[in-house]
Amino acid sequence: MSKKEKKQFITKDIFYSSIKGAFTKLSPKYMIKNPVMFVVEVGFILCTILVFFPHLFHDEGSNLSLYNAIVAIILFVTLLFANFAESVAEGRGKAQADTLKKTKKDTKARLILDDGSEKEVSSSELKKGDIVLVKTGELIPSDGEIIDGIASVDESAITGESAPVTKEAGGDFASVTGGTTVVSDWIKIEISTDPGHSFLDKMISMVEGASRKKTPNEIALNTLLVSLTIIFLIVIVTLYPLATYLNVKIPISTLVALTVCLIPTTIGALLSAIGIAGMDRVTRFNVIALSGKAVEACGDVDTMILDKTGTITFGNRLASDFINVDGVDETDLVKYACIASLKDTTPEGKSTVELAEKMGVTLNIDDYKHATFIEFTASSKMSGIDLEDGTKIRKGSGEAIIDYVKNLNGLIPSDLNEKVESISKLGGTPLVVCANDKILGVIYLKDTVKPGLPERFDRLRKIGIKTIMCTGDNPLTAATIAAEAGVDGYIAECKPEDKIEAIKKEQSLGKIVAMTGDGTNDAPALAQANVGIAMNSGTTAAKEAANMVDLDSDPTKILEVVEIGKQLLITRGSLTTFSMANDIAKYFAIIPAIFTIAIPQMNVLNIMGLSSPSSAILSALIFNAIIIPFLIPLAMKGVKYKPMSASKLLGRNMMIYGLGGVICPFIGIKLIDIVISPLLVFLGL
């Protein structure tokens, strides 16, 4: 998919399929699932009948059939717009599902039989427990766990990430996904799913909306809308005899129009689309939500449990500081440490050179092209470089360098042990540097906090989300990293069962908890959390326990997913506020129009100065219809989310969508009245 296509709100294919869906969804069997819009459909059917049989309700009069027809047409368009909104949301999901389906091919698999021989079978024939062999260039036929071998696997068909990942038997990187490709070596896989139940099958089903169920908040809001609809229906039903008593003859189509304008049709039309679009936004972020409830729960998260390594920190020990021993100038330590690391391609070596450059020491590697680089080995526990002038520079563990210098009859600085131990107590790794028989100082290596995380944690704190870091480090190291990252709390020397206890403790306080994980030992905690995000690179057990899977295997993505969940709830709340506020203007448009003839004093409520009763009713009804497509982009993209407290957020939304929801229809209905009133005069209405 090109960047241009990604930016498109709606493609030509989605547009045409959505138009078709708008008509096919008119079936009463489908519409009854949305009670608010079902009432609109019943009103449309009633008005259509009145066009041809006005005498059924003694609803006869000059040009009344034409008036009924216009109302019926507007109601029909309202239904089409509502169905179009839902179809657009579904179409965007199905477009993604089609992309995933291209990945799902009926490939051939080498099935290993009990006697060790191979048999070529279709991937659709594989069942749980079968053993298959996959070689270089072949597609992995189904989900499974590697039981033998090691290979590089290209997962770009699913994750979009071009770099292959290494998969091997044992550990947390033994899980493989059907549809990915082995690009080197070979692996034996034990199939973990039956046909039709693979991870890719679940992804396709969820993305295209086939398995989407209404979430608790969606059900609650739907119940509210149905309740309001019932209340307004009762009001309208009692209005008819009241009008008759006042000798005001109200056409049935006018009562239908009043009903449709007063019930929450706008949010009723968009509610399903908002829910589908919420899951769509998560999917476009390369996260597969295995339930709509999980996406919604993200918006309610109060506490986030985060692993330190790989989530808060890079997981690689990087150079953080140079600490010289007494009698040695810091510049000399930095210079020799940099020389020793020029040809060291490890994260430690590269970071040492980068830190030296930041401190003003820049070397030209060509000046040392004839020097001999000494690689690190497990036995020597040191690396370094031998220069052409005979200088030998080494860096390594304290014990190794001390032994090396002693063998050269060098002296050990009195403050060396103190500096090495202070770094170790902080959870860092000390690398001692020497030039020939002279020890210069120590490179302080530490697990570095990812840039930008403190600011992101601060954003979460502003919206009331507490962050807790879990780490196996000692309390001193944990406290240091926690302070640097800006998390609210930490659990040191954390074991898998400690994570579960931490989650249960927060949940007992009524908190909604989210966490990430990738290993089998994380599975119980992922299952216990309200929002569990498993890494796609992790084990099958972790993915099955979680209710979300991150295809990019980026543990920090939980931060964005929570914001998407917040945006979903805010979008739903904002559009509900806007829809309810719309009704205020409709009251001032329709109520005076109905009763002004019998009660002239009611005209004082006609503050918009609408030209005639029929124009007022039709203008309100037209506005009620056309506001739906105007709000579709907002429902799809979501209301812009800004981290702030719940009270400030409520105030902001009431100001923008509450006040806006009142003002917008006043302007819209008046403009429509100006446009249609001459036409209605011409038609004699």
Cβ pair 553, 535 in contact under 8 A: yes
Query: Which CA distances in Å does 508 have to 231, 351, 504?
Result: 38, 44, 6
Query: Beta-carbon neighbour count of residue 683 at 10 Å?
Result: 13
Identify the three-state secondary structure at position 53.
coil
Residue 241 DSSP label: H
- In whole angstroms, what is the distance from residue 192 CA to residue 190 CA? 6
- In whole angstroms, what is the distance from residue 589 CA to residue 608 CA? 7
- In whole angstroms, what is the distance from residue 330 CA to residue 332 CA? 5
Tell me whether residue 611 is annotated as binding.
Answer: no
- In whole angstroms, what is the distance from residue 25 CA to residue 122 CA? 38
* Beta strand residue intervals within 76-224, DSSP E: 108-112, 118-122, 131-135, 144-154, 165-168, 175-176, 181-191
- In whole angstroms, what is the distance from residue 342 CA to residue 353 CA? 7
Tell me whether residue 344 is annotated as binding.
Answer: yes
- In whole angstroms, what is the distance from residue 528 CA to residue 522 CA? 10
β partners of residue 149: 187
Structural tokens at position 62: 């000059």
Tell me whether residue 377 is annotated as binding.
Answer: yes
- In whole angstroms, what is the distance from residue 165 CA to residue 160 CA? 13
Catalytic residues: 307
Tell me whether residue 382 is annotated as binding.
Answer: yes
- In whole angstroms, what is the distance from residue 254 CA to residue 295 CA? 41
137 phi/psi in degrees, rounded to 5? 85, 0
Rounded to the nearest 10 degrees, what angle do helices 475-485 and 453-462 cross at? 80
In our burial notation (b when 16+ CB lie closer than 10 A, e otherwise), range 350-370 reads ebbbebbeeeebeeeeeebee
Torsion of CA 481, 487, 488, 489, to 10 degrees: -40
- Among the listed residues 181, 190, 45, 56, the one whose alpha carbon sits nearest the alpha carbon of residue 111: 190
| HSE-up (13 A, CA, CB side) for residue 520 | 8
Cβ pair 104, 179 in contact under 8 A: yes
Tell me whether residue 380 is annotated as binding.
Answer: yes
Query: Which CA distances in Å does 93 have to 1, 277, 282?
Result: 14, 8, 11
Tell me whether residue 378 is annotated as binding.
Answer: yes
Query: Beta-carbon neighbour count of residue 234 at 10 Å?
Result: 10
Cα end-to-end span (Å), the chain:
52
Identify the three-state secondary structure at position 422.
helix
Tell me whether residue 383 is annotated as binding.
Answer: yes
Residue at 167: amino acid letter: K
Tell me whether residue 348 is annotated as binding.
Answer: yes
β partners of residue 382: 396
Which residue numbers belong to the known binding site?
344, 348, 376-383, 395, 518, 522
Which residue numbers belong to the known binding site for ATP?
344, 348, 376-383, 395
Which residue numbers belong to the known binding site for Mg(2+)?
518, 522
